[in-house]
Amino acid sequence: MTSPRAARLWGGRFGAETAAVIERLNNSLSFDARLWREDIEGSIAHARMLGASGIIPGDEAEKIVEGLQGVLAGLESGSQSLDPSAEDIHTAVEALLRDRVGPVAGKLHTARSRNDQVATDLRLYLRRAIAAIQGAIADLQAALIERADGEMGVVMPGYTHLQHAQPVLLSHHLLAYFWMLQRDRERLRDGLARVDVLPLGSGALAGTTFSIDRDAVASELGFAGVSENSLDAVSDRDFVLEFLADAAILMVHCSRLGEELVLWSSQEFGFVRLDDAVTTGSSIMPQKKNPDGAELARGKAGRVIGSLMALLTVMKGLPLAYNKDMQEDKEGLFDAVETVLLVLPALSLMIRTAAFDGNAMCRSMQGDFSTATDLADALVRSGMPFREAHAVVGRLVRACLDRGIGLEDLTPTEIAAIAPETAVLDWVDLSVSASVAARATHGGTALDAVASQLARAREVLKR
Ligand code: ARG
């Protein structure tokens, strides 16, 4: 089975048609069509430079640039579309240019290869994608700040091993995600420095015989600099891998937040009621309200992590320089960008519309021994070594469990009877609010500490 040669940029040395199955295997337009804007922008800068450097006549360069601007406008308005039979986006754009300006379109590819072209397109795409993602992260951070501010003073159980550990402020818990997301935003910003390098001018792999002006192209496209090694520039995708790693870590954070919402909205926890707008129903059980959005924030982390693993695996055995394997960089990248840009605003909405139930949080802490550390700390303050205090309080906990009461139900006399070592103690407030208030150090969960944390979070978000 063969198919007639669709629009393509090669063919002179071929006697037979490409087999249809190979054409299907080779074709990338179905996904790299997303790069149309970047491909045209890169070509406009390249054509201008070819004209300005005298590599092609100035009037022809102008004609090409105007043609490309026409293609850009045509695609933007939808009055024009890409030929679906084209091999890839580069071929499809050049075909549209040829329709507009005729054979002079053939001069655009002077001193250029699809290898440096696609690397350029991808970097232009990623620059935009990173900016959009940073905006979406910042919005989720803003949502967390709003809710942390509004819920100041609400105490909830803090967990380790998913067992009640020590009381914390709900605001403190919410702000934990603020800082994770802050590092995600910083990681993306740091990675941008390595994306922001122009590969165009590297040719297929060895550079070009024309005296091109790479700096002019870089400055027109807003790149911070040009690549130093043509082999490296056309054949590495570490900037994609780095982005995918950043996106995977970001999705792990989204996934954990999603998991908290799933847990907290369950009957067992009852800490939050998710809004009708962010939940879905069951086709059979009329009473159900399912946290599908939160579950998908968790579930979709899998595909982004998968895309990182996939591209690492694609790249690990490739000799220099360009290999067609590298075409496999795109679907995972596009999917990661689109997934992140879907999940982040969904989480923002879930957080903004969540109805937290402070009473349920409070009830869940009755008799949970989550202030046992506070009692041990009080014993330490009266001179007892911490290890000893730990053992004494452990004994008190056991006695309470036997009697079916909580630590806070013990009177000082009872405490002294069970553990005479505690006789040195004055009365200790074992309420959850006293426990929270006592953790007043920088980064702790006391009201004032969280208030200044909130102020710093606001400050960081404004930067
Ligand atoms: N579609 C290709 C890719 O994404 C473009 C580069 C093709 N280069 C080549 N020599 N065939 O990698």
pLDDT-derived band of residue 382, with 50, 70 and 90 as boundaries?
confident
d(CA 82, CA 101): 16
Greater pLDDT, 191 or 289: 191
In a domain, 163, yes or no: no
Within this chain, do residues 232 and 340 fall inside the same structural domain, yes or no?
yes
Within this chain, do residues 321 and 179 fall inside the same structural domain, yes or no?
yes
Q: Round the average pLDDT of the chain to a whole number and report it.
A: 95
Q: pLDDT tens for residues 105-133?
A: 999 999 999 999 999 999 999 999 999 99
Within this chain, do residues 320 and 176 fall inside the same structural domain, yes or no?
yes
**Quick one: pLDDT at residue 410?**
83
**Quick one: pLDDT at residue 7?**
65
In a domain, 451, yes or no: yes
Is the CB–ligand 1 distance for residue 230 below 6 Å?
A: no
Is the CB–ligand 1 distance for residue 118 below 6 Å?
A: yes
Q: Is 161 a catalytic residue?
A: yes
CA–centroid distance, 244 to ligand 1, in Å, is 20
From the list 64, 72, 69, the residue with the least C-alpha distance to 98 is 64
pTM of this prediction? 0.95
Within this chain, do residues 261 and 139 fall inside the same structural domain, yes or no?
yes
Adjacent-strand bridge partners of 273:
355
Percent of the chain with pLDDT over 90: 88
CA–centroid distance, 228 to ligand 1, in Å, is 21
**Quick one: pLDDT at residue 262?**
98
Segment 450-455 shows an average pLDDT of 98
Q: Would you call 163 helix, strand, or coil by DSSP?
A: strand
Give the residue, out of 26, 28, 125, 236, with the most ligand 1 atoms within 8 A of its beta carbon, to mutate for a pocket test.
Answer: 28
Within this chain, do residues 204 and 318 fall inside the same structural domain, yes or no?
yes
Find the range with the poorest average confidence among 35-44, 182-191, 225-234, 374-383. Answer: 374-383
Residue 156 has pLDDT above 60, yes or no: yes
Residue 314 has pLDDT above 80, yes or no: yes
**Quick one: pLDDT at residue 417?**
86
Q: What is the CATH number for 391?
A: 1.10.40.30
Residue 209 has pLDDT above 50, yes or no: yes
Residue 4 has pLDDT above 70, yes or no: no
pLDDT-derived band of residue 273, with 50, 70 and 90 as boundaries?
very high
Within this chain, do residues 59 and 138 fall inside the same structural domain, yes or no?
no
Is the CB–ligand 1 distance for residue 28 below 6 Å?
A: yes
Number of separate domains in the chain:
3
In a domain, 457, yes or no: yes
The DSSP code for 18 is P
- Out of 292, 324, 358, a domain closes at 358
Q: What is the CATH number for 32?
A: 1.10.275.10
Within this chain, do residues 379 and 328 fall inside the same structural domain, yes or no?
no
Token pair 């999940």: residue: 343
Within this chain, do residues 332 and 371 fall inside the same structural domain, yes or no?
no
Within this chain, do residues 137 and 262 fall inside the same structural domain, yes or no?
yes
Angle at 404 between CA 399 and CA 410, to 5 degrees: 60
- Out of 334, 358, 382, a domain closes at 358
Q: pLDDT tens for residues 63-99?
A: 999 999 999 999 999 999 999 999 999 999 999 999 9
In a domain, 11, yes or no: no
**Quick one: pLDDT at residue 421?**
81
Percent of the chain with pLDDT over 70: 98
Residue 397 has pLDDT above 90, yes or no: yes
Domain span at residue 326 reads 115-155+169-358
Within this chain, do residues 303 and 389 fall inside the same structural domain, yes or no?
no
Q: Would you call 26 helix, strand, or coil by DSSP?
A: helix
Q: pLDDT tens for residues 254-264?
A: 999 999 999 99
**Quick one: pLDDT at residue 6?**
52
Residue 2 has pLDDT above 60, yes or no: no
In a domain, 253, yes or no: yes
In a domain, 421, yes or no: yes
CA–centroid distance, 324 to ligand 1, in Å, is 6
Residue 341 to residues 47, 297, 415: CA-CA distances in angstroms?
33, 11, 56
Segment 18-26 shows an average pLDDT of 94
Q: Are strands 272-273 and 355-356 parallel, antiparallel or unpaired?
A: antiparallel
**What are the two backbone dihedrals, phi and then psi, of residue 166, each rounded to the nearest 5 degrees?**
-145, 145
Within this chain, do residues 32 and 175 fall inside the same structural domain, yes or no?
no
Segment 238-267 shows an average pLDDT of 98
Q: Is 390 a catalytic residue?
A: no
Within this chain, do residues 51 and 133 fall inside the same structural domain, yes or no?
no
pLDDT-derived band of residue 233, with 50, 70 and 90 as boundaries?
very high
Catalytic residue among 77, 161, 211, 283: 161
CA–centroid distance, 4 to ligand 1, in Å, is 20
Under a CB-based contact definition with an 8 Å cutoff, are residues 198 and 227 in contact? yes
- Out of 358, 377, 393, a domain closes at 358
In a domain, 7, yes or no: no
**Quick one: pLDDT at residue 292?**
97
In a domain, 9, yes or no: no
Greater pLDDT, 295 or 427: 295
